[in-house]
Amino acid sequence: MKINVEDNKCSGCQICVLWCLHRHDGFRRLARIHIIEKESLVGRSVQVCRQCEERYCVEACPVEAIVVDDGTGASRVDASACTGCGECAQACPYGAVRIVDSIAVICDLCGGNPACVKYCPEKVLTIS
Amino acid sequence: MRGISGRILRVNLSSGVASSESLPVDVWRNWLGGRGLATWLWSKENPLHLDPLSPQAKIYFAVSPLVGTLTPGIGKAAAVFKSPLTGGIFVSLCGGDIGSAIKFSGWDVIVIEGRSDKPVVLLIDDERVSIRDASSTWGMEVTEADRALRSMLGEDSVAVVAGPAGEKLVRFASLHSGRGREFGRGGIGAIFGSKNLKGFAIRGGGRVSIADSQKLEALTIEAYQRMEESEKAQIRRRWGTPELVATINELGFWPTRNFSEGYFEEGSKIDAGAIEKSVLIAHRSCFSCPIRCGKVIRYSHPDGSSVELEGPEFESLSLLGPNLGLGSIEKIAEASRLCDELGVDTISMGGVIGFVIEAGKKGKLPIELKAGLNLEFGDEKTVFKLIQMTALKEGALGEKMAMGSRAFAEELGCEELSMDVKGLGIPAYDPRGIKGLGLNYATSASGASHMRGPTMPIEIGENTRLDDRDKVPMVISVQVNMAVADSVCLCSTARVGINIHQLAQFLYAVTGESWTAGRLEEIGKNILTLERKINIREGFSEVDDTLPLRMLSEPFKKGASAGSVVNLEPMKKEYYRLMGWDEKGVPPLEDK
């Protein structure tokens, strides 16, 4: 599956972030979705993995620590192999990868039922 | 107790020392967080008769167990301080992202005390705190200052800044967070100015411990459902707070020309429908809230450029609009934007301008003070000029307006023309059209704040607004309810999805401790009584629980609220009695 984003509809509520924390271990710094103010007050910049056709993060990784998950299509990081070099974060066109505590953090699609998509009150996020 | 860290960050700007302390968990059990906790702390740490702008004065920013959790509508942070405007205890709340930033950084309360001898900013990055030179930011307007502080810490940080008005100690200066949220009232901006603090930026990467995640999730989904089904929430979602314009104007208690009338003939040009048709371009929400009541407009600045603005909210629209005889969205939006950028409370600013115009027209202003201005209602150039003069204390008139309408009126000997209670300017509901709200204005520790006791939905919905009998229990109940909401940091509007019983359940799911609606109401009442005790110690008495003479004795001549004044004394007496205070409104002296 792929996440699609219409970021001019984003109101900035960050309910997506709250569900992301709730579905993972709750650390704010480990959110896999980031809502950033733009210059304009219309919408926000929504930084989340789009499961790109050409998977830039996978290609950029020098130690092959990222693979495309068979089931969900998410970019899956092997934390034990990841060195925190940040090449994946640089390569990502959507700003969706963060290096936190020296490990790459990327959306795992909540294992197939992404909570951010389900609960976004503005329908900014859809799956295809 | 889950949901809290139990830690306070104390920053002393005189010594430059930041330290971490912990508070016993019983404090949250008794005071909840937010307004309750911060008021209790204030009462423990601040001496009597303190000058609010002195280094000894402390200001408290507090969040609650629910902040940063799934709970929807928990979009506020509470600030408690002694107000330089009223001289009493004051609470101000700010929406947007600041509450969650404080919570995720691991602090339940941030206390700022002392005074820096040079302009500084405070940077809080989880537990790493630094006080940094900020001379380059001194003098900056709010948008620029917000950007500057956030650039010091990171684009994921949240800032709270004073504008030039706060730096100049304007008594109703505000603090601003993000692109359109404020700690608006009570002169909180001047507190920062007096400490040489331009603002603070904060970010946090931590987590909130939750007792029962599954329960929290189920309660959250039910609350989303109630908000979706709530007519009030859906009205706010579409139109924002300006939805009130048509209603309040038709009911004839919309502040018009310094509260001299209750109906503004140009109301339909500036109501929610007019805004939606002409300038509305987007919607915004506070952290965790699906209601999305923020409205973004695009309008033409007087210089011809195009401006985006979140707002104007109903209060700003009213006090800078009909209250000053302005009937154009663009003019009102620009006045509101100027207040935001310079950092003053729009309600108080509109109130003092209204006062000055009426005083001028009635010959109460000495010629030399008039500064050659056209002091008439309906002149936006005068309004823009007065906002600037006041916020920057330009000229003798600017200096005097910066004291607030009450102090200025006392100097001129025309107190009856200042529409305030305890110095705080009356908001956009004239109490002659809504008596219970009038009782709330008169009795709240803050002075005339509609948010301490927002009875509007009840009094309008049940069509009892012109009654002054059988009002008191309802007013107390609303004040108690808001004391609780302000202490858990629940936005007033979001209460349509979370009533006090549901709130008790959310608190249980997060904290793991048992709470009931009854216990929450008891805490709310304790908060009101504590605020009362503080104010009495500061020198307030029942004489200060009043309304402007106009509202007690001059009925509107026309409109749907004509012929009525507020019969305050009997309501006050009953209020004191039901609160368990003596006939002079003094609570019993047992220690708390």
**pLDDT single digits (tens) B184-196:** 999 999 999 999 9
**Tokens representing B328?**
């154009």
Assess A43–B contact: CB distance below 8 Å, yes or no: yes
Distance of alpha carbon B31 from its chain centroid, rounded? 20
Mean pLDDT for all residues in chain B: 97
**Closest residue to A21, CB basis, from B179, B207, B294:** B207
Assess B469–A contact: CB distance below 8 Å, yes or no: no
Cα separation, B531 vs B590, whole angstroms: 15
Chain B residue with the nearest C-alpha to that of A20: B70
DSSP A7: G
Assess A95–B contact: CB distance below 8 Å, yes or no: no
Q: A18-53: b or e for each residue (b if 16 or more CB lie within 10 Å)?
A: bbbbbbbebbbbbbbbbbebeeebbbbbbbbbebbe
Bridge partner list, B9:
B20, B110
Work out the number of other CB atoms within 10 angstroms of the CB of residue A101: 11
A82: distance to nearest CA of chain B, Å? Answer: 21
Contact between A18 and B70 using a beta-carbon 8 Å cutoff:
yes
Mean pLDDT for all residues in chain A: 97
Contacts of A25 in chain B (CB under 8 A): 207
Chain A residue with the nearest C-alpha to that of B291: A121
- Per-residue pLDDT band for B591 (boundaries 50, 70, 90) equals low
Question: Could you write out the DSSP letters of every residue in B518-534?
Answer: HHHHHHHHHHHHHHHHH
Would you report the helix, strand and coil content of chain B in percent, each value rounded to 5? 45, 15, 40
B91: distance to nearest CA of chain A, Å? Answer: 24
**pLDDT single digits (tens) B262-298:** 999 999 999 999 999 999 999 999 999 999 999 999 9
Torsion sign over Cα B149, B152, B153, B154: positive
Q: Report chain B's C-alpha Rg in angstroms.
A: 22
Contact between A11 and B285 using a beta-carbon 8 Å cutoff:
yes
Contact between A27 and B308 using a beta-carbon 8 Å cutoff:
no
Q: B199-226: b or e for each residue (b if 16 or more CB lie within 10 Å)?
A: bbbbbbbbbbbbbeeeebbebbeebbee
Distance of alpha carbon A59 from its chain centroid, rounded? 17
C-alpha atoms less than 13 angstroms from C-alpha of B61 in its C-beta half-sphere: 27
**Tokens representing A53?**
């056709």
Torsion sign over Cα B43, B47, B53, B58: negative
Q: What ipTM, to 2 d.p.?
A: 0.97
The answer to whether B52 and B202 are in contact (CB under 8 A) is no
A11: distance to nearest CA of chain B, Å? Answer: 4
Bridge partner list, A68:
A75
**pLDDT single digits (tens) B208-249:** 999 999 999 999 999 999 999 999 999 999 999 999 999 999
Give the three-state DSSP class for B176: strand
The answer to whether B424 and B86 are in contact (CB under 8 A) is yes
Q: Which residue, among B520, B516, B515, B510, has the nearest Cα to B2 in the 3D structure? A: B510
The answer to whether B465 and B433 are in contact (CB under 8 A) is yes
Contacts of A18 in chain B (CB under 8 A): 69-70, 288
**Closest residue to A28, CB basis, from B206, B213, B289:** B206
**pLDDT single digits (tens) B503-522:** 999 999 999 999 999 999 99
DSSP B586: P
Q: Which residue, among A109, A22, A119, has the nearest Cα to B212 in the 3D structure? A: A22
Contact between A18 and B69 using a beta-carbon 8 Å cutoff:
yes
Q: Which residue, among B11, B10, B40, has the nearest Cα to B28 in the 3D structure? A: B40
Is the pLDDT at B433 greater than 90, yes or no? yes
**Closest residue to B204, CB basis, from A28, A100, A119:** A28
Assess B104–A contact: CB distance below 8 Å, yes or no: yes
The answer to whether B427 and B313 are in contact (CB under 8 A) is no
A84: distance to nearest CA of chain B, Å? Answer: 18
Is the pLDDT at B178 greater than 80, yes or no? yes
Q: Which residue, among A49, A51, A22, A48, has the nearest Cα to A35 in the 3D structure? A: A48
Interface A:B, Cβ pairs < 8 A: 77
Q: What is the pTM of this model?
A: 0.98
